[in-house]
Structure 1
Amino acid sequence: ARVIFYLNRLSTLAKLASKDLDRLSKEEIKSLVIAVERRYSNENSRHDFKVALKKFYQWLHGYEWDSKEYPSMVRWIKTTVRNCKKKLPEEILSEEEVWRMVKAAKNLRDKAFIGVLYESGCRIGEMLSLKLKNVIFDDYGAVIIVHGKTGYRRVRLVASVPHLAVWVSYHPRQDEPEAPLWVSIGTMNHGKGLDYSAARKILRDAARRAGVRKRVNPHALRHARATHLASKLTEAQMCEFFGWTQGSDMPATYVHLSGRDVDKAILSIYGKVVDEREGEEVRVKTCPRCGKENPPDAEYCMRCRMVLDERAAVEAERRERELLELITEDVLERLIEEKIKHVLKECCLNVTQ
């Protein structure tokens, strides 16, 4: 996924450049960077192109891919995004918006994909590399074994498990432990692993159907999950959950966005006790009739079809009331008369036979 990310941007840079990228001088690279800044007003877009450019010359000149060393011709390019330009809290997807997307998704795979991507907080590359054998169901939900930048890690899932379990049961290659967890279900490439563009399309289609107008891409769900969990986990737990190295400054960014520490301090000045349970994440819906655990977006129990959502219950009651109002005394008499005729006809047929 990361390679495709760089290739897409390098393709655009090649069109903007005066000649082949591997033949550009330092001055020509400067002109190319200026062209990018003039063409793109969004700082995140500018950042992406600059990172791709630096990575290209890092590779071209034989530097270690994961190092922070670059050849002098691109070392001067600044790729840091100022804090003031980072996403505002109102631009971050809310839990309610994510579960609306899950509900609006058009098939079992997409519902599970969106739910797991959000709840796990996985990088998209980690998500797409999951295999069926990496999913372990237990009494509490499920655990996925993720391979990321810091090695393997366990990620606990709860809310997305009902959708995940259904998807696994319908997986076209469910008997193959080594098969990708997320595969194509169409006639083209049936059973083959999804790529980054397919993942992005799943999210964009679901967002459109759910009426979510914020910017939606695979990283947006990880960003949202980190922001939502920052008020509930310690920084060490955040590093473990999201696959950051211990001591990383990433948790501090999300604690800042969540307002956790400042909110508690300000409220304590006024003698207000913060309820730690307030703002808890969306929970699974347990059916009061059969005990089945259902995903947060469920309106009806997946096992016994009992109404779980209050709005759905009100709507069902309204439809029932409208139906009863339509059944007048005349309509009722006509229905009884037709039923009697049908029974008499059946009796006559039985006698003749």
Structure 2
Amino acid sequence: MYKVELKPDFYQGKECIGIYGPDTLQFNSTIKKIKGIKWNHNQRIFYMDCTRIAFENFKNQVANHFYLDTSILRQYLLQKKALVGPIEKPIRSVTANKIISHPLCIENSLALEAMRNMLILKGYSNNTIRNYLFEFQSLLRLLKENSVNILSKAHIQSYLLWLLKEKGCSETKVHTAVNALKFYFEHVLEREKELYDLPRPKKPFKLPSILAEEEVVEIIKNIQNIKHKTMIMAAYSAGLRVSEIVSLKIKNIDNKRMMIHIQGAKGKKDRMVPLSNILLTMLRKYYKEYHPKEYLFEGQNGGAYSARSVQEILQVAKQKVTNKVGGVHMLRHSYATHLMEAGTDIRIIQSLLGHNSIRTTMLYTHVSKIAIGKIESPLDKLKW
């Protein structure tokens, strides 16, 4: 019997399974008879969709003709399951290619899956799960066939030092790596306090970019599409994170009480923020034109709008107005700063932003014109 290898691949923007066999008449004629098999013109191989149904159909029809080697495919699917969930779940080409080019050993793939399961059980947010798994996988790729479970505290410290000195990673990235590794060793392997004193680089204190009120107006004026304009107005009017914008549902807009109900925000917290009169007028115009069904801002095929697309909308509009660096979160920073400059109590701003600690909100005192804008420069006091 001929040996046929099944390997993971990515072709024409879709995940697939490549079929690698001998270039013989028997092989080619057998494959061509199977429904659902396609031809990859670039690599000149047969392939099928990466689904359980397609795989089972193929296996059943060639069982008497070929011996199937699925070792590489199994390794890929195990790693994919640990990163993104079920086999049928779509995966980005960048993620798929990383898995294909840097396969993990079975033991480390199981470690990655165990970490994912524990993060879900403990109720961590999707963003935190994604970030922790990414950092953990980065370490696992370096280990190759060595098990992560045998690493000592000294090994971990050497890895973190390598991230800082050799890779030039930011302090924020290293902090995330520390948290991810602490989670695995302490919550998955249940080691006691062995890694609590890992060295943590000091984060740099950076002030956020703030838009002037006139710049906010010009940015909104530069957006012609009513849906895009309304999303950016909503972001600024209520200090919303980009994830909160795309998660808004029609039911979250309370025009009787003039409030917006933000549900399941960062830290799985709900909060209420005021609904702007100008935004409500814009929302009514938008609703008449687009008729969203569930989410306030829906994509072309229904469901929630893409967070990345919202960022792109802002960037296109912003580049015509200012060269200040920042995305949608800049609007949130600007919202908080403008409230503070208008005399709003900092405790109220903390509640509107959904901050756990007042210390986080205090950041805006460093950029508010109230505190520093009235100070006269010594240069202006000189007699010329």
TM-score tier (shorter): 0.5 to 0.7
Please list, as runs of the form range in 1=range in 2, the aligned pairs for 1:61-80 lying within 5 A after superposition.
61=185, 63=187, 72-73=194-195, 75-78=197-200, 80=202
Asked if residue 170 in structure 1 is aligned to residue 285 in structure 2, the reply is no
TM-score normalised to structure 1 length: 0.57
Partner SS for 1:249 = helix
> What is the identity, as a one-letter code, of the residue corresponding to 1:145?
H
Residue identity over aligned pairs, in percent, reads 22
- State the match for 1:151 in structure 2: 269
C-alpha separation in 2, matches of 1:221 and 1:40? 32
C-alpha distance 35-252 of structure 1, shift in aligned 2 (>3 A): same
Q: 1:224 aligns with which of 326, 330, 334?
A: 334
Q: Is the 8 A contact 2:347 2:358 kept in 1?
A: no
Match of 1:242 in 2: 353
**Equivalences for 1:297-308 in 2 at 5 Å?**
none
1:292 matched residue in structure 2: none
Unaligned runs of at least 5 residues, structure 1: 65-69, 268-353
C-alpha distance in structure 1 between counterparts of 2:202 and 2:279, whole Å:
34
Greater length-normalized contact order (CA 8 Å, ≥ 6 residues apart) = 1
Alignment of 1:97-176 (within 5 A): 97-138=215-256, 142-147=258-263, 148=265, 149=267, 151-158=269-276, 159-174=278-293
Equivalent AA in structure 2 for residue 193 of structure 1: A
**Cα gap change, 1:193 to 1:38, in 2 (>3 Å):** same
Distance 1:252 1:107 in 2: 36
| Alpha-carbon distance change, 62 to 113 in structure 1, aligned in 2, over 3 angstroms | farther
Rounded Cα–Cα distance in structure 2 between residues aligned with 1:105 and 1:181: 18
Structure 2: how far apart are the matches of 1:6 and 1:47? 19
1:59-108 per-residue CA deviation (whole Å, 9 max, x = no partner) reads 424649xxxxx96436524265343xx126xx323333333332223522
CA deviation vs aligned residue, 1:129-161 (integer Å, no higher than 9, x gap) = 22110012259xx42111234733221132433
Match of 2:299 in 1: 184
Q: Deviation digits for residues 11-48 of structure 1, max 9, x if unmatched?
A: 4774576226955543443344334434776xxx7133
Tell me how far apart the structure 2 counterparts of residues 129 and 215 of structure 1 sit (CA, whole Å). 25
> Any conservation in 1 of the 2:253–2:259 contact (CA below 8 Å)?
yes
In 2: Cα distance, 1:202 partner to 1:109 partner: 10
Question: How many Å separate the matches in 2 of 1:18 and 1:164?
Answer: 50
Count of aligned pairs: 242
The one of 153, 165, 174 aligned to 1:26 = 153
| TM-score normalised by structure 2 residue count | 0.53
Give the Cα–Cα distance (whole angstroms) in 1 for the partners of residues 243 and 261 of structure 2: 13
Shift of 1:215: 1.9
Q: Could you say which structure has the higher strand fraction?
A: 2
Q: Output one character per residue of 1:204-260: Cα deviation in whole Å (capped at 9) or x when no partner.
A: 23334x343222223222122222222221121111211123x62123221222042
Q: Please say if 1:92 is aligned against 2:207.
A: no
Measured on the aligned residues, the alpha-carbon RMSD in Å equals 3.5
State the shift of 1:121 in Å.
0.8
**What corresponds to 1:81 in structure 2?**
203
